Amino acid sequence: MKTLQLEEHLSFAPEVRAALDENRPVVALESTIVSHGMPFPENVETALQVEAVIREQGAVPATIGILNGKLCAGLDAQQIEQLGKTGKKSLKVSRRDIPFALIDRTAVGATTVASTMIVAQLAGISVFATGGIGGVHRGAETSFDISADLQELANTNVAVVCAGAKSILDIGLTAEYLETYGVPVIGYNTDCWPAFYTRKSEFPVDYVMDNTADMAAVLNNKWTLGLDGGVVVCVPVPHEYEHDADVINAAINSALQEMEQKAITGKASTPFLLARISEITGGSSLATNIQLVMNNALLAANLAKDYSALQL
Ligand code: PSU
Ligand code: MN
């Protein structure tokens, strides 16, 4: 009964279904980064390039989204373009919103880190690549703004490969939250959290690793033991694409001020900040954003390969 109901809501791209059936490596990708995280047409171009990077490594990409009233594990190029063109008119779907997005068959639903993790777990995908995760916002002590991504990481068995968290967030409080919920943070060749656009922050990661085979062994140990929940793998943006920290921090501060003046809250906050930072920096932050996502996809593909090899 349960399986039947799941099939009713979950649809697989043929390539993804075949890979999972044969225990070949699959990497999940989110779609809010496409709809709300970058402007058109760079969003679509990047999403397709990220898929190409994963394929080059011998893994299969599964961009997750909600179309035709179904959770989709894997979108084709046309569907990615539809999401990219619909942009901010798409529904930003987090855990809370999933059942509502499924009611309207015409809705174009973009999944966040939280909901992409949920769909990935339902589909049987263990590794997910994105740009940055949501977290505890600066000023959360008064706004209470803490992304549902963190609670998902506490509960859902997916490894999320990212470039850390943007400093629109309070990275230190984000790290504390993850520690409380037992979510390990691995730094790939870094002993501190990267700050998305830049390679360093003042906050240490929990474990430093320099290869995906060890990471895969950790995932396997964790989930074999029933230690439910996610893992964060932080990959610093490559040196050559790192952004000037002063320029980025000035842009972040002015975007945060504007957000307060405009009284923007709730699910609109993060998309507003991302768009303003991109506008204020005249697109230079977008260039960094694109490169770091591709770099994360590369590592995620190799992690997926190593992890699937342990499942034989
Ligand atoms: N951070 C980024 N880029 C993004 C997002 C966050 O650098 O595109 C998106 C992701 O989809 C993430 C979501 O899951 O924003 C978090 O939104 P919120 O803070 O409302 O939970
Ligand atoms: Mn929020």
What's the pLDDT tens digit per position in 141-167?
999 999 999 999 999 999 999 999 988
Encode the chain (312 residues) as per-residue pLDDT tens digits.
566 688 899 999 999 999 999 999 999 999 999 999 999 999 999 999 999 999 999 999 999 999 999 999 999 999 999 999 999 999 999 999 999 999 999 999 999 999 999 999 999 999 999 999 999 999 999 999 999 999 999 999 999 999 999 889 999 999 999 999 999 999 999 999 999 999 999 999 999 999 999 999 999 999 999 999 999 999 999 999 999 999 999 999 999 999 999 999 999 999 999 999 999 998 899 999 999 999 999 999 999 999 999 997
- Strands 26-29 and 91-93 come out as unpaired
Which residue(s) pair with 160 in the sheet?
128, 232
CATH number at residue 158: 3.40.1790.10
Domain of 140, in residue numbers: 3-310
**Please, what is the average pLDDT of the chain?**
96
What's the pLDDT tens digit per position in 99-124?
999 999 999 999 999 999 999 999 99
Domain count for the chain, please give it: 1
The separation between the first and the last C-alpha atoms of the chain, rounded to the nearest angstrom, is 28
Which residue(s) pair with 187 in the sheet?
208, 234
Rounded to the nearest whole angstrom, what is the distance from the C-alpha of residue 37 to the centroid of ligand 1?
7
Q: Residue 253's CB: how many other CB atoms inside 10 A?
A: 14
- What phi and psi values does residue 263 have, to the nearest 5 degrees? 55, 45
What pLDDT score does 171 carry?
98
Ligand 1, pocket-test mutation among 29, 33, 289, most atoms within 8 A of CB: 33
Rounded to the nearest whole angstrom, what is the distance from the C-alpha of residue 135 to the centroid of ligand 1?
8
Catalytic residue list: 30, 166
Q: Which atom of ligand 1 is nearest to the CA of 270?
A: 19
* Token reading at 213: 């085979």
CA distance 98 to 120: 13
DSSP secondary structure letter of residue 236 = P
CA distance 266 to 264: 7
How far apart, in Å, are the Cα atoms of 185 and each of 75, 229, 296? 29, 12, 15
What pLDDT score does 283 carry?
85
What pLDDT score does 2 carry?
63
- Residue partners of 173: CB distance under 8 A and separation at least 6: 135, 136, 140
Q: What is the dihedral of CA 219, 222, 227, 231, to 10 degrees?
A: -40
What pLDDT score does 227 carry?
98
CA distance 139 to 231: 25
- What phi and psi values does residue 281 have, to the nearest 5 degrees? -85, 5
- Residue partners of 108: CB distance under 8 A and separation at least 6: 35, 65, 66, 67, 82, 83, 86, 89, 90, 91
What pLDDT score does 1 carry?
53
* Strand spans (E) along 30-69: 60-67
CA distance 153 to 159: 9
CA distance 292 to 286: 10
Ligand 1, pocket-test mutation among 130, 151, 272, 293, most atoms within 8 A of CB: 130
DSSP secondary structure letter of residue 97 = G
